Amino acid sequence: MQDFTPLQGLRRNKINGASLSASRGSFPYDESCTLNVKFGVDGGIRDSFRHEIWMDAHRRNDKYFRITYKMEIKKVTMGLAVKTLIKPAKAVKKASIYWTRNPEMVRLFEKKVWALIIDERRAPHIPATEEEARKKLFEFEASFQILGADVGRGNHTLRAQVGASWGRHIFSEKGTISGSSNSIKITCT
Amino acid sequence: MAQIEEIKFRQTSKVGKDLREGEQFIRLTQSICPDCNKILPATIFEREEKVFMRKTCSEHGEIEELYFGSFEMYKRFSTFWLDGKGTLAANVPMEKCACPTNCGLCTNHLSHTGLSNIIVTNRCDLTCWYCFFYVKKGLEGAYVYEPTTSQITAMVKTLRAERPVPGNSLQITGGEPTLRDDLADIIKIIRAEGVDHIQLNTNGINLALDPDLATRLKEAGLSNLYLSYDGVTPKTNPKNHWEVPYTLESCRKANLGVVFVPTVIKSINDHELGDILRFAQENMDVVKAISYQPVSLTGRMSKKEREKYRITIPDCIDRIEEQTEGQVTRDDWFPVPSCSPVTHFIEAFTKKPQYDLSIHFACGAGTYVFEDTETKKLVPMMSFVDIPALFEYLEEKTDELNSGASKYLIAAKFLSHINSFVDKKKQPNGLSFAKLLTNAILKHDYSSVGQFHIRSLFLGMMHFQDKYNQDEERLQRCDIHYLTPDLRIIPFCSFNVIPEWYRDRIQQKYGLPIEEWEAKTGEKLEQALYRGTLRRANRHQPASCGPNEVRIEPITGT
Ligand code: SF4
Ligand code: SF4
């Protein structure tokens, strides 16, 4: 991989739209409830993930991009997220920037580069558009099941702490960002 | 920030739209017409859990072909899709490249040479019914092709000039290379040019007949044999069934490793893949690997005939699982480019370009199996090493190294983590996978990898292409290359799939008409034919190869 060439005027990277939701607001102690965490990465790193940059990255042998997502769900007491309910979890998404022989691309571009996205379940996707590629790579969603015993009886406020990190590339410095979701209230009866 | 310009593809494609009921689109690529070699758009799609290719030539109509026998395995393998670094010392500049019509390598090629091939003769001592590679009398335009030692030197220099990674592995192939009296000299020349790994592609008959030949070749610098071996019975392996035990004995004496190379044809020998593995296991002291090669179909063949003989990598993998009673399962196999996390980690660690096996994920697969000393069962590496987790870990550390982390810190982390990927209880006795990997990755000491081979067999698979299933995306990533006297480096699946552009043309240009060759050498072409001595001595069948039913691309050349 060649040296990093800073791209000018990139937006600051940040966690976008972090949200936590529960499958139900109230659930009996001996049943379970599903918590859903959703967030995205926005800013320069996302903007850079586009065809023009893929072409340059491919030419300069920088063909593989990994982004690690981290999340943790905590109980909130007195406005502070203090007790871990769901231990920090990690998931990785990847993009392989490859030279396609897709005849559509052959017609469109001199150098025919596209991106294959590998999601956190190791499932491959060939996106139809650049925007689809960005969505698949920079948006993340995970679900966790909790039992009544995990939270205990009563009312609880929960919040997710989320983050993302990636390494250095010809189009970006390494980055680590973090954020918090909204708080939700659940009741275990 | 400039506004992001949206680029779309696929939806507008007519090619992608020719899908029929029950079919699921996977990707578009380019291929050729089996009749006229015209470059055609091709659709790769799924139907009934298998992967197919469909293309239409305006003149010769539609061709549909099985591409990969399992969609599930295709998806798993495709997650290892990672383009290589290619070669900086390309022989054909980009503006002259019209892939695949001007291979050489050109600037567009995405893999450096992993294994190079030099054909040293197109003469053979057998006359196999399916092979039309060897030179025979009575055919118009038949040439004997035998590059001189100075041509060979120049070819090897071309290989060594590849950058950033000079080629370092070479297969001497034919015809039957042992027909050349100067074979040992050729091996010495190749060694002298700095090639570390030299293998000989052979039917093994001359090594069986002359027990000292293996020793002489080993002393000259040969690393191992690439021995054609199609089955365990005379019916499935008429070529060298009776001779192989003698060949193995010669190699044993010479301490020369052997790779078995079965060409797998559905309905002909696909029921013996497990038996081939068992025979290799019995001879593990000398047989180090098996390279199964699903057949490459050539000549004009009806769809029905193709369906009868066509077998793909997942089909062979499934047969092996069935025929070994689950000792080697489908999950034990990884596509060849799955080596990339290891290569890239070493590259990031050493800051030096490394040998990269960056072929297309649909081209080849491999696994390692070890013999349990007590039960004698085969233990695949996957059963005691968490390979996916190890790869993830290496990718993460590669990113850290590329982002400026200290290599000493990463080495320390690696050492403290490596054991967590190995289940020591299941690890075969006497093997320390963690130690071996540490030596190879951090100390670049590969001597223990040799030791690894002693108790193990590498099982490989490569599905050479043909005109029916040819995929330019695979071709552009090919790392098995031919070296030719015009100092080109030509991808295997161009050289053999379109012989009229490459193989035949080159051999005609640099060969001699048979009569001229006979006059020059004072030999007769048929003098070299094997008369079946070892078969007669054992009251076996006379030496001949079976009836003509299917024409198979002579991928091993023997
Ligand atoms: S197959 Fe490779 S060498 Fe041949 S024309 Fe295509 S890119 Fe060039
Ligand atoms: S020889 Fe053919 S099958 Fe093997 S890597 Fe090259 S293109 Fe793929």
Residue-number span of the structural domain to which A127 is assigned: 16-188
Confidence check: pLDDT of A1 > 80: no
CA dist B558 to A144, B10, B132, B218, B510, Å? 58, 43, 10, 20, 20
Ligand nearest to the CA of residue B110, numbered in listed order: 1
Domain for residue A3, yes or no?
A: no
Domain for residue A170, yes or no?
A: yes
Phi-psi region of A9 (alpha: psi -120 to 50; beta: other; left: phi over 0): left
Domain for residue A9, yes or no?
A: no
Domain for residue A129, yes or no?
A: yes
DSSP string, B202-255: E-SHHHHHSTTHHHHHHHHT--EEEEE---SSTTT-TTTTTTHHHHHHHHHHHT
Task: Kindly report, residue by residue over A102-154, the tens digit of the pLDDT.
Answer: 888 766 666 689 999 999 999 999 999 999 999 999 999 999 999 999 999 99
Distance from the CA of B354 to the center of ligand 2, in angstroms?
20
- Dihedral Cα B448, B452, B455, B461, nearest 10 deg: -150
The predicted complex's ipTM stands at 0.92
Number of domains in chain A: 1
Phi-psi region of B36 (alpha: psi -120 to 50; beta: other; left: phi over 0): alpha
% pLDDT > 70, chain A = 93
Q: Return the pLDDT at B33.
A: 96
Listed residue (B420, B398, B417) closest to B407, CA to CA:
B398
The residue of A51, A104, A171 whose CB has the most chain B CBs within 10 angstroms, and thus the best one to mutate to test that interface, is A104
Listed residue (B369, B299, B268, B270) closest to B328, CA to CA:
B369
Domain for residue A5, yes or no?
A: no
Q: Do A168 and B404 touch (CB under 8 A)?
A: yes
Most distant pair of Cα atoms in chain A: their distance: 63
What pairs with residue B456 in β-bridges? B370
Q: What token pair was written down for B299?
A: 């000549």
Q: Do B6 and A99 touch (CB under 8 A)?
A: no
Touching check for B473 and chain A: CB below 8 Å? yes
Q: Return the pLDDT at B102.
A: 87
What is the Cα B472 distance to its own chain's centre?
17
DSSP string, B54-95: EEEETTTEEEEEEEES-HHHHHHHHTT-------SS-SB-GG
Q: Do A108 and B7 touch (CB under 8 A)?
A: yes
Helix (H) or strand (E) holding A176: strand A175-188
Q: Do A168 and B395 touch (CB under 8 A)?
A: no
The residue of B399, B465, B477, B493 whose CB has the most chain A CBs within 10 angstroms, and thus the best one to mutate to test that interface, is B399
Distance from the CA of B480 to the center of ligand 2, in angstroms?
6
Helix (H) or strand (E) holding A187: strand A175-188
Backbone angles phi, psi at A14, to 5 degrees: -155, 160
Residues 6+ apart with CB under 8 A from B26: A126, B44, B45, B46, B51, B74
Q: What token pair was written down for B554?
A: 């002579």
Q: Return the pLDDT at B8.
A: 52
For B324, which DSSP code?
T
By the 8 A CB rule, do B356 and A61 touch?
no
Probe ligand 2: pick from B115, B169, B462, max atoms within 8 Å of CB? B462
Helix (H) or strand (E) holding B152: helix B149-160
Residues 6+ apart with CB under 8 A from B530: B125, B126, B205, B543
Print pLDDT tens along chain B (558 aa).
333 344 554 444 455 567 899 999 999 999 999 999 999 999 999 999 999 999 999 999 999 999 999 999 999 999 999 999 988 877 777 666 678 888 989 888 999 999 999 999 999 999 877 676 788 887 777 899 999 999 999 999 999 999 999 999 999 999 999 999 999 999 999 999 999 999 999 999 999 999 999 999 999 999 999 999 999 999 999 999 999 999 999 999 999 999 999 999 999 999 999 999 999 999 999 999 999 999 999 888 999 999 999 999 999 999 999 999 999 999 999 999 999 999 999 999 999 999 889 999 999 999 999 988 788 889 999 999 999 999 999 999 999 999 999 999 999 999 999 999 999 998 887 788 888 888 877 777 665 555 554 578 999 999 999 999 999 999 999 999 999 999 999 999 999 999 999 999 999 999 999 999 999 999 999 999 998 888 866 655 444 444 333 444 444 444
3-state secondary structure B173-205: ECCCHHHCCCHHHHHHHHHHCCCCEEEEEECCH
Q: What token pair was written down for B421?
A: 């990927």
Listed residue (B484, B513, B509, B481) closest to B494, CA to CA:
B481
Distance from the CA of B499 to the center of ligand 1, in angstroms?
15
Domain for residue A4, yes or no?
A: no
- With CA atoms as reference, the chain A residue closest to B393 would be A92
Domain for residue A74, yes or no?
A: yes
Residues with CB under 6 A from ligand 1: B 97, 99-100, 102-106, 108-109, 475-476, 491, 494
Domains present along chain B, CATH in parentheses: 16-78 (no CATH), 112-200+484-522 (no CATH), 203-295+524-558 (3.40.50)
Q: Return the pLDDT at B440.
A: 77
What is the Cα B557 distance to its own chain's centre?
13
For B28, which of A61, A92, A102 is closest by C-beta distance? Answer: A102
Domain for residue A142, yes or no?
A: yes
Task: Kindly report, residue by residue over A29-88, the tens digit of the pLDDT.
Answer: 999 999 999 999 999 999 999 999 999 999 999 999 999 999 999 999 887 777 899 999
How far off is chain A from B369, nearest CA to CA, in Å?
Answer: 25
SS3 B457: strand
Touching check for B315 and chain A: CB below 8 Å? no
Touching check for A106 and chain B: CB below 8 Å? yes
Residue A40, domain CATH? 2.60.40
Checking DSSP bridges between strand B456-462 and strand A113-118, what pairing results, if any? unpaired
Q: Return the pLDDT at B441.
A: 78
Listed residue (B112, B107, B182) closest to B152, CA to CA:
B182
Q: What token pair was written down for A120?
A: 């956190």
Touching check for B354 and chain A: CB below 8 Å? no
Touching check for A92 and chain B: CB below 8 Å? yes
Query: Residues of A with CB below 8 A from B7's CB?
Result: 51, 108, 129-130
Tell me which amino acid residue B502 is. Y
For B75, which of A51, A105, A123 is closest by C-beta distance? Answer: A123
The pTM of the full predicted model, rounded to 2 decimals, is 0.92
By the 8 A CB rule, do A113 and A103 touch?
no
Tell me which amino acid residue B433 is. F
Query: Residues of A with CB below 8 A from B75's CB?
Result: 123-124
Q: Is B362 in the pocket of ligand 2 (CB under 6 A)?
A: no
Q: Which residue has the tokens 């068992």?
A: B278
